[in-house]
Structure 1
Amino acid sequence: MRIRRRRVMTFLATAMLLASSVGLTSQARADDVSDARTMIETTCTQLLGVINSSQGDAQKQAAMQQLVRGAVDVDGVARFVLGRFWRVATPAQQQDYMQTFRQLLVYAVTGQAASFQGAKFTMGQAAMRDAGIVVDTDVTVPGKPEAQVQWVVATVGGKPKIIDILAEGTSLRLTERNDYAGVISQHGGQVQPLLDAMHHQLARFQSNAS
């Protein structure tokens, strides 16, 4: 899930046309950056609202699931994480992988919720970069050092969606991709052992939740 280019013109008329189109592109990008920052601010506010609410675990998980699916390009992240091994997987394995990944992502976010109790997000700058639109935030959690979290956003289906999170400069989706590739490589390039490991992890999450 991510983004990138340009050319040199020689004729004056072409250059004038290019200048006008660049102006439109710059405006569109400025709007995209503004929309991305607003979306992250709204998402962070909603996230903290769920975390700090007095709802039960089941209600929080349902609210978190709705929030994650609305704000994150879950399927895009899933495809990126599996990378080149997507083509190795059978159609049945691809379907199993996507379904399991969606569930794991929600459980992973929900499982971390307690550690963000009382947290505060301070919005920073937002800018178009190679990876996408990067929105800076500073996160403060009682009793812990302040951390910088950067949200990478792209337009998906006409809406801004989170495609990656950079925690102190480390890409979470790239880290996950390397982990998944490591499991597959250890098993001779077979995808099924990864799926088995994902099912085992999901069962643990579900057991802890119940």
Structure 2
Amino acid sequence: MPGTLIPIPTTEPRAGRRAFMASALAGAVLLAMPKGAFAALDNAQASALITQAVNDVNAAIASGRTGPALYSQFEAIFNKYADVPTIARSALGPAARQATPAQMSAFTTAFRGYLSRKYGQRFREFKGAKFEVQGSRQVKTFYEVASVAHLPGQQPFQVQWQVSDRSGKNLFFNIIVEGVNMLASERTEIGAMLDQQRGNIDGLIAVLNKAS
């Protein structure tokens, strides 16, 4: 259904708002498609995909929940729709190769909670934005769903959503907003935190468990 406008939550100065969208949408608007072959993906399914994700986020915001209750709701959405292990491993970067299975599991859990709190705190500020789904295309081993974001007081801008079935089902694993890559942004941020811990993964996990 190309041309479908889908309301989502927005507010903030232009540059800051767009930069935040690159990560906020990745952390809170979490995409997935029903199990099945990617070959069946079409514009109608892409529109339904984004509609479902956005509706889940809007429902969380409209629930009136705040604080830990809201963050838990976002975390449940994230856990349901996103390829969390892939996103977490990418965010940890080269250090993931040195992490033990137990550390990787603990980091993934801490990272998921961290993103839920981080974006849950901010997403209530986003009101009045809309997405226009344009279609999808296959890119090597994944699909990219193209959309245009309409934010009040701003020029429309491009948002690409990336989904893959590497986990065994079709899940969101990345989003790109006007060239800003969510995976790269999270890797930079987590890398800086790891540097502050002198490369100690257990220290990073402890920081993420406390951070918001």
1:179 deviates by 3.0
Conserved 8 A contact 1:123-1:138: yes
Distance 1:136 1:199 in 2: 34
1:103 paired with 2:93, answer: no
1:156 deviates by 4.7
Distance 1:141 1:57 in 2: 24
What is the aligned partner in structure 1 of residue 65 from structure 2? 56
Spell out the pairing of 1:163-202 with structure 2 (5 A cutoff): 163-185=173-195, 189-201=199-211
What is the aligned partner in structure 2 of residue 89 from structure 1? 99
1:41 deviates by 2.8
Distance 2:161 2:127 in 1: 20
What is the aligned partner in structure 2 of residue 146 from structure 1? 156
TM-score (norm 2): 0.68
Q: Deviations over 1:22-63 (max 9, x none)?
A: xxxxxx443145655532232123323333x15221554343
Greater displacement, 107-116 / 169-178: 107-116
Residue type of the partner of 1:31? A
Conserved 8 A contact 1:153-1:162: yes
1:77 paired with 2:87, answer: yes
Residue type of the partner of 2:96? W
The number of equivalent residue pairs is 174
TM-score (norm 1): 0.68
1:64 deviates by 2.5
Conserved 8 A contact 2:88-2:111: yes
1:163 deviates by 0.2
**Structure with max Cα Rg:** 1
Q: Deviations over 1:111-163 (max 9, x none)?
A: 23123222222212211114721112222233444332211111255432110
1:129 paired with 2:131, answer: no
Residue type of the partner of 2:64? Q
Greater displacement, 162-171 / 108-117: 108-117
Conserved 8 A contact 1:75-1:102: no
Distance 1:30 1:139 in 2: 26
Residue type of the partner of 1:30? A
1:41 paired with 2:54, answer: no
Secondary structure of 1:116's counterpart equals coil
Residue type of the partner of 1:49? A
Greater displacement, 190-199 / 126-135: 190-199
In structure 1, runs of 5+ residues without a counterpart are: 1-27, 206-210
Let me know the Cα RMSD of the aligned residues.
2.7
Distance 1:131 1:113 in 2: 31
1:160 paired with 2:170, answer: yes
Q: Deviations over 1:164-198 (max 9, x none)?
A: 01111111112211333344456654324433432
